[in-house]
Amino acid sequence: MSKSYKIAAIPGDGIGREVVPEGMRVIEAAARRHGFSVAWQEFDWSCERYARTGRMMPDDGMATLAKFDSIYLGAVGYPGVPDHVSLWGLLIPIRRGFRQYINLRPVRLLAGIDSPLKNRKPGEIDFYVVRENNEGEYSEIGGRLYKGTELEMAMQQAVFTKTGTDRVMRYAFALAMKRKKHVSSATKSNGIIHSMPFWDERFAAIAKEYPDVKADQYHIDILTAHFVRHPDWFDVVVGSNLFGDILSDLGPAVVGSIGIAPGGNINPERECPSMFEPVHGSAPDIAGKGVANPIGQIWSGAMMLDHLGEHEAAAAIERAIERVLAGAGPRTPDLGGNAGTKDLGQAILDALG
């Protein structure tokens, strides 16, 4: 009996529905070639469902997902439904409920992609952003007072726990041990005087556990400048929920299209399913036209297989993506071509060999 994985597919909204099917067929082909199979179950959880039922997912949604080995998500969000509804109604409950406290996003300049930075060659930019995904600045603690009056006020509390901070930093250092042995921390301990000095203290303490790894830190403002001017400096960059969110969009932007950037929401202990999704959103401006770049979704599928232990299948998908981009194959408009989503998906399928 070959191994079979149960995967929950949530295409979501907009181009999520166009790129998830491409990811699914590439994953299936890789599975066939590497001797395992995938049992999919698709869920229509989305803003469209919210408009119909008032809920992004059903009440027992988390219990349903808990039975799967992994979750493969497209994107959620659509005009007409406020973004905080789609985020707090689906993505954040899954990330927190399943303790997916690592948001992992590779940033790699691939051959055949024009970086918006001058004179950058493939190989020069190759790092990971490790974003804390469960606490920090994205907290529900706070409130509004005196609404509608001159005294109106809003307060929002950031939350940094030792457990939450240490575990994301250990993950970053362990990842660096398998790579170039260098971790950079995003901080702002000059301006934010309680949580960020704590973050720095914990970074220094965890760095001591990994004496072979070079550890440095930058304030977030200059760090964004270094991402643009010196992206070759970085190996693993660790940041809080907010700083990591910003850096993990900036990273993909300096290596080309947001359409190719993959991501994983990971529960490293594997007590709960992890969730893999591209960095981009539902792109309402191009949705329905069949021109979205499916590579971010397909690459996220490779990250999912890698997490499930199917390292060879994952590497084969990454090689197929690299081969298609480096060659003369079809390109979607964001990469300067005029091919459609399905053409690019098919080319990657063919390149799997």
Binding site for ligand NAI (CB under 6 A): 15, 75-78, 83, 91, 258-259, 277, 280-286, 292-293, 296, 332, 334
Least Å distance between CB 183 and ligand NAI? 25
The nearer residue to ligand NAI, 183 or 256, going by C-beta atoms, is: 256
Instruction: Write out the E strands in 157-213.
Output: 182-187
Output DSSP code: residue 110.
P
Write down the least CB distance from residue 83 to Mg ion, Å: 11
**Which of 126, 245, 277, 322 is in the footprint of Mg ion by CB under 5 A?**
245
Task: Name the binder of 259 from Mg ion, ligand NAI, none, CB < 5-8 A by kind.
Answer: ligand NAI
Closer of 16 and 164 to ligand NAI (Cβ): 16
- Closest to 223 (Cα-Cα) out of 201, 204, 198, 240: 240
Q: How far is the CB of 24 from ligand NAI (least distance, A)?
A: 16
Nearer to Mg ion, 107 or 348 (CB): 107
Least CB distance from residue 73 to ligand NAI, whole Å?
7
In one-letter notation, the amino acid at residue 6 is K
Q: Which is nearer to Mg ion, 202 or 280 (CB)?
A: 280
* Residue 182, helix vs strand vs coil: strand
Secondary structure (DSSP) of 276-308 = EEESS---TTTTTSS----HHHHHHHHHHHHHT
294-307 in b/e form (b: 16+ CB < 10 A) is bbbbbbbbbbbbbb
Rg, C-alpha atoms of the chain: 20
DSSP-derived secondary structure letter, 146: S
Which is closer to ligand NAI, CB of 197 or CB of 337?
A: 337
Question: Pairing state of beta strands 153-156 and 142-145?
Answer: antiparallel
The partner in contact with residue 152, picked from Mg ion, ligand NAI, none with C-beta cut-offs of 5 to 8 angstroms by kind, is none
Q: Which does 61 bind (CB under 5 to 8 A by kind): ligand NAI, Mg ion, none?
A: none
The span from the CA of 330 to the CA of 196, in Å, is 46
Binding site for Mg ion (CB under 5 A): 245
